[in-house]
């Protein structure tokens, strides 16, 4: 747990709108798990790889790995760099966090403005606002596993890359 000391201080900026905790989780374990999860989402707020390194395991596994993203702890850093090149002011709001033992389910809202590039598309400041849900496994004070789903259709529609049928 000593390795994570810097991350909870940085993660203090992340607020949780609705925290749901399984009653069987001892308070100290719950608090440690929440601190690790908050550090992971502070990384998504900032893109700061030092925060990511403190939050995830060297053996991190992305169970819903998108094509082109490297597996392992370098995957989230790769994704953040690429996404921030399109949406430099990316932020994440943790809307709901549910802790049950060593699993954390997080519903979040991503926001920002498409001012960069995404493939061949160039942003012109379009507001970006879409949801995502993660299921994290936390072991030994680090995120070891992630299963995630993003509302990519809404994201791509707001970027002007995909059109929704009317």
| pTM confidence score | 0.83
Contact (CB, 8 A) for 94 and 106: yes
* Confidence at residue 27, expressed as pLDDT on a 0 to 100 scale: 86
Q: What is the mean pLDDT of residues 111-127?
A: 96
pLDDT tens-digit profile of 76-94? 999 999 999 999 999 999 9
Top CATH class, 27-159: alpha beta
pLDDT value at position 21? 65
Q: For residue 123, is pLDDT > 70? A: yes
- Characterize 51-75 residue by residue with b for buried, 16 or more Cβ atoms within 10 angstroms of its Cβ, and e for exposed: bbebbbbeebbbeeeeeeeeebbeb
pLDDT the model gives residue 6: 52
Q: What's the pLDDT score for residue 19?
A: 74
CB contact at 8 A, 132 and 117: no
DSSP 145-158: EEEEEE-HHHHHHH
- Residues sharing a CB contact under 8 Å with residue 5, sequence separation 6 or more, in sequence order: none
Query: In the structure, what pLDDT confidence band is assigned to residue 2 with cuts at 50, 70 and 90?
Result: very low
> Are residues 95 and 109 in contact, defined by beta-carbon separation less than 8 angstroms?
yes
> Residue 5: pLDDT above 60?
no
Q: Does 36 score more than 50 pLDDT?
A: yes
State the average pLDDT over residues 95-124: 95
Average pLDDT, the chain: 90
Q: Which residue has the tokens 């001892």?
A: 26
Name the residue among 19, 34, 109, 1 with its Cα closest to residue 11: 34
Q: 35 pLDDT exceeds 80?
A: yes
pLDDT category of residue 31 using cuts at 50, 70 and 90: very high
Contact 8, 55 (CB under 8 A): no
Helix (H, G, I), strand (E, B) or coil at 50: helix
| 7 has pLDDT over 60 | no
Provide mean pLDDT across the span 17-44: 86
State yes or no: pLDDT of 25 exceeds 90: no
């Amino acid at each position: 747990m000593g390795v994570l000391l810097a991350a909870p201080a940085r993660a203090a900026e992340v607020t949780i709108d609705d925290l749901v905790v399984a009653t069987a989780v001892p308070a100290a374990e719950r608090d440690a798990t929440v601190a690790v999860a908050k550090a992971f989402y502070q990384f998504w707020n900032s893109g700061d790889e030092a925060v990511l390194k403190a939050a995830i395991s060297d053996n991190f596994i992305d169970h819903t790995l998108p094509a082109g993203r490297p597996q392992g702890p370098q995957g989230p850093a790769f994704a953040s760099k690429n996404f921030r090149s399109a949406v430099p002011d990316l932020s994440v709001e943790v809307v709901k966090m549910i802790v049950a033992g060593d699993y954390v389910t997080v519903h979040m809202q991503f926001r920002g403005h498409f001012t960069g590039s995404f493939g061949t598309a160039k942003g012109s400041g379009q507001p970006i606002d879409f949801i995502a849900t993660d299921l994290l496994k936390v072991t030994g004070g680090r995120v070891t596993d992630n299963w995630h789903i993003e509302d990519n259709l809404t994201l791509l529609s707001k970027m002007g890359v995909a059109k929704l049928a009317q």
